[in-house]
Structure 1
Amino acid sequence: MVGMTASFQANQSVAILGGGPGGYEAALAAAQLGAEVTLVEQAAVGGAAVLTDVVPSKSLIATADAAVAIRQAGDLGVQLFARGGGGVPLRPEVAINLAAVNRRLLALARKQSDDVRAALEDAGVRIVSGHGRLDGPRAIVVATDAGGTDFERIEADTLVVSVGASPRELPSARPDGQRILTWTQLYDMAAVPEHLVVVGSGVTGAEFAGAYMNLGAKVTLISSRDRVLPGEDRDAAAVLEKVFTRGGMQLLARARAESVVNTGEGVIVTLSDGRTIEGSHCLMAVGSIPNTRGLGLEDAGIQLTESGHIRVNRVARTSVPNVYAAGDCTDFVPLASVASMQGRTAVFHALGDTVIPLERRRITANIFTSPEIATVGFSEQDVVDGRADGVVYKLPLTANARAKMMRITDGFVKVIARTGSGTVIGAVIVAPRASELIYPLAIAIERRLTVDQVSRVFAVFPSLTASITDAARAMHIVDLAG
């Protein structure tokens, strides 16, 4: 902990470039500490996370999960029928009105943006609309009109850059917003695509591939690596591949998309080995690039990586002492929750509040597939590669009574404990709402609890959380001394 008491620096001014999670959380924190705060945002408050990324995408996934729940309700004895001619019952089909779904989720995004703006205004934050760039290390210049003729110069003691990132585009597969799409352009589709080809099997590709499969689309997922989610837990990826295959998805591993062409009535995806795949639409999910070009960062002395990301330390400080950065534009972990924490940490450090430097091993992450995949701390691969000295235990959810009641057939709880002490140092949960279930294990890592301490906490019976205590209890009999 960086020891700074509540002797906040009075009469400080903070200017923030970018209104995404890192930016608006920094603004709220600065206002709470009594600073004069100005937030510059070109589009709408909330940034891409609220408008085109996290909020709408997870809303779409929630709709897909609801469709699956309806289809599978018969397995629990719940059957839907309509009366046909002569009183004969008919089984109705689940229909997806994608245009209505997209209207709803975009409305949710706008409402969330409005709520964030209202919170900022209530806190006394001044919001300036326009395209901003740094003018040295202590000022932001904002073009406040579309023509770029009206400017406002905002000087501040502390600057926070939180400009996010945009979808990466390939020259041979330029998104057109019609057939070849980035994840920001999916919400204009009026109907579920007949055949969606997804290029990229990372988190974004896997999430949308699973969602559109569950909405009823035929889906082909192209991975340049040997499996889906190549950077994630291998057991978790194997579960997801099994679910995808069972749902009818075609998985193409070790396949690289060379080009994508819009034929007018569909798309043709050509692979590097010469094979072609025809579909109705193509989603390009090949990563993102930071929105740092043309912002005057290097002229202000701020160091960037070769990829254009802003170099920051564990308190989100850049190479320039009074300039901080948060979110996907930095070289830290690209998660909305991390951006928020970076924004708050930056302001706390700048204004003299107590600061706990960010640590990668304490960050929880979640992949919103069905089932979800949540992780925290060291991975099993870290143990295998010698980066962590630990013992790994995996408990399938099929052993859990609540899972049986809910007909959950896929998933597990995996706990990693340090050899000798039994301290929890990592975890993976694959389950419905894994994003909620991972929290107690995140607390265990944060507070350095042992598996025995976790196992002694009462879990409701029956509950999915009981699998956490069951796994911890099982590790008591493991020879942690090696």
Structure 2
Amino acid sequence: MQTYDLIIIGSGPGGYAAALAAGKAGLVTALVESGPLGGTCLNWGCIPTKLFLGATEPIAGIRAQERLRLASGSMTVDLPALQRRKDTMVGASRKAIEQSLTRVNVELIRGRARLASPTSIIVNNADNGEETELGFAKLIIATGSSPSFFPGMEPDHQTILDSTDLLDLAEAPESLAIIGAGAIGLEMGQFWERLGTKITLIEGMDRVAPTEDPEISKVITTALKRAKWKISTGKKVASIQAENNKAVVTLEDGTTFEADKALVAVGRKPNTEGLNLEAAAIATQGRGWITTDDCLLAGENIYAIGDVNGRTLLAHAASDQAEYVIRHILEQTSDPYGPGPIPGCIYGSMEAIRTGFTAEELTTQGKTVTISRAMLSANPISQSHGAPAGLVKVVWSQGKVMGISAVGHGVSHLITLCEVVVKEGWTREKAENIVFAHPTLDEALKEALLAQQA
């Protein structure tokens, strides 16, 4: 039986980052992947959706200038050409990943893995069905997550779609019902709305973007309504059925919606099925999320990183966990994993960001909280884009910044600086001593940091 210093299952952002770091460190490493390299983020998530939003951003820009009566015009998107560009871009990225692994001597093994014992896995070759047992000193499980569906909302991949199906449509539907007002639903909806699709957004929680600060959610809702989205919140979906090539959505209160297509984006589940975790006594919780300790260990010498451990379902969180685990394996750290604030973004015409705590979260912890904010209506960059709606909101406790949220045009460009501010626990005096360039969107952050707290 061939053995390795490290075997990694899954080539998404976490698995790939771990493989690169391990290879560079000289560990004898194998990366096992049963599907396309790059995982969900590259193939069906972060990258394709941002490509689509970027390609159609001029449409939003034209509309903004039209509202100011400064310009008029239109833009026609060649959707099949955009699909081809997406496929080309994703394919090139997969090739680049494989080349990067080769350069650091990581062996790429194609097949589906399952645990055979606490120190070995079995890989089933997808091409010929042959099975090979491989031994390891250390193992990283980085198998990610996939869309989940409530009973009665399962996609048929023709009329009732998941996010992957929606990315592959050859033409824009006349109408689209989106079930779930999180990042996936909001970003997908903005793209198709730019192409002329009429959007109905349905969210079971009491507001759009329910994981964001309530004030941020309110601004997003106002912007979507201005774009003529039909929005229903606080009402859960009972069923979705395909009838006469239409998606018929029925809410629990009996209300029905009809659309040409429906997108179900209500959550995700861990990809742990078939891993035979019992062979290494690895525990799971909830829908199958792998339980990990403070060092991301799921068992002796077995780590779980990224979506599959359920801590934070974000690509950059997976990469950060991967780099920590390699340091832990190399005995460069024995400290528990503590990344600090994890930034999150929602992209599109009306972007939203968040890092650190919200006021509600700190209040629940019993801490005294104050708030300062700045409106983007006073920012010259927001004004120049005809997009003055939005704000930057800073949450303080004991004189230090504990969280920042923002919503508006282009606010995703503020996220890294916001993370630094929160992680370093900036005081007002710190903000006063930093020079912010003019004119920039960053000035709105400085204004929020120096605004009166209440």
Residues 343 and 360 (structure 1), Cα distance of their counterparts in 2 relative to 1, 3 Å cut: closer
1:145 Cα shift? 3.1
Q: Which residue of 2 aligns with 1:188?
A: 168
Residues 388 and 441 (structure 1), Cα distance of their counterparts in 2 relative to 1, 3 Å cut: farther
2:317 corresponds to which of 330, 333, 338: 338
Is contact 2:193–2:199 with CA below 8 Å preserved after alignment?
Answer: yes
Residues 456 and 356 (structure 1), Cα distance of their counterparts in 2 relative to 1, 3 Å cut: farther
SS of the residue aligned with 1:289? strand
Residues 112 and 433 (structure 1), Cα distance of their counterparts in 2 relative to 1, 3 Å cut: farther
Distance in 2 separating the partners of 1:64 and 1:460:
29
Residues 313 and 469 (structure 1), Cα distance of their counterparts in 2 relative to 1, 3 Å cut: same
- Compute the TM-score of the two structures, normalised by the length of structure 1: 0.89
Whether 1:223 and 2:200 are equivalent positions in the alignment is no
Q: Deviations over 1:193-249 (max 9, x none)?
A: 100000112222222222222222100001112211112110110011001000010
Matches within 5 A, 1:229-308: 229-308=209-288
Q: Which residue of 2 aligns with 1:88?
A: none
Whether 1:143 and 2:124 are equivalent positions in the alignment is yes
Is contact 1:221–1:249 with CA below 8 Å preserved after alignment?
Answer: yes
Residues 140 and 225 (structure 1), Cα distance of their counterparts in 2 relative to 1, 3 Å cut: same
Q: Which residue of 1 aligns with 2:358?
A: 379
1:161 Cα shift? 0.2
Q: Which residue of 1 aligns with 2:305?
A: 326
Is contact 2:64–2:385 with CA below 8 Å preserved after alignment?
Answer: no
Q: Which residue of 2 aligns with 1:160?
A: 140
1:445 corresponds to which of 403, 417, 422: 422
Structure 2 unpaired stretches of 5+: none
Is contact 1:227–1:253 with CA below 8 Å preserved after alignment?
Answer: yes
SS of the residue aligned with 1:68? helix
Residues 198 and 411 (structure 1), Cα distance of their counterparts in 2 relative to 1, 3 Å cut: same
Residues 447 and 105 (structure 1), Cα distance of their counterparts in 2 relative to 1, 3 Å cut: same
Structure 1 unpaired stretches of 5+: 1-10, 81-91
Is contact 2:34–2:126 with CA below 8 Å preserved after alignment?
Answer: no
Is contact 2:64–2:387 with CA below 8 Å preserved after alignment?
Answer: no
SS of the residue aligned with 2:290? coil
Is contact 2:60–2:349 with CA below 8 Å preserved after alignment?
Answer: no
1:191 Cα shift? 0.9
Whether 1:43 and 2:57 are equivalent positions in the alignment is no
Which AA in structure 2 matches 1:418? S
Q: Deviations over 1:5-57 (max 9, x none)?
A: xxxxxx97110011111101011111121101100000121111111111111
Residues 247 and 222 (structure 1), Cα distance of their counterparts in 2 relative to 1, 3 Å cut: same
Q: Which residue of 2 aligns with 1:7?
A: none
Distance in 2 separating the partners of 1:270 and 1:251:
15
Distance in 2 separating the partners of 1:174 and 1:397:
41
Is contact 2:65–2:385 with CA below 8 Å preserved after alignment?
Answer: no
Distance in 2 separating the partners of 1:206 and 1:137:
42
Distance in 1 separating the partners of 2:190 and 2:334:
39
2:438 corresponds to which of 461, 467, 474: 461
Is contact 2:59–2:75 with CA below 8 Å preserved after alignment?
Answer: yes
Q: Which residue of 2 aligns with 1:403?
A: 382
Which AA in structure 2 matches 1:130? G
1:357 Cα shift? 4.2
Is contact 1:138–1:156 with CA below 8 Å preserved after alignment?
Answer: yes
SS of the residue aligned with 1:333? coil
Q: Which residue of 2 aligns with 1:53?
A: 45
- Compute the TM-score of the two structures, normalised by the length of structure 2: 0.94
Residues 287 and 155 (structure 1), Cα distance of their counterparts in 2 relative to 1, 3 Å cut: same
Q: Deviations over 1:384-416 (max 9, x none)?
A: 334543321111111223322232221111112
How large is the Cα RMSD of the aligned pairs?
Answer: 2.0
Residues 129 and 204 (structure 1), Cα distance of their counterparts in 2 relative to 1, 3 Å cut: same
Which AA in structure 1 matches 2:60? V
Q: Deviations over 1:265-289 (max 9, x none)?
A: 2211112122221110000011111
User: Which is strand-richer, 1 or 2?
Assistant: 2
Distance in 2 separating the partners of 1:412 and 1:72:
18
2:21 corresponds to which of 6, 25, 29: 29
Deviates more, 1:187-196 or 1:307-316: 307-316
Q: Deviations over 1:327-376 (max 9, x none)?
A: 11112111000011111111110121246644465111111242211111
Whether 1:101 and 2:93 are equivalent positions in the alignment is no
Distance in 2 separating the partners of 1:12 and 1:390:
51
Is contact 2:56–2:77 with CA below 8 Å preserved after alignment?
Answer: no
Whether 1:362 and 2:354 are equivalent positions in the alignment is no
Residues 228 and 75 (structure 1), Cα distance of their counterparts in 2 relative to 1, 3 Å cut: closer
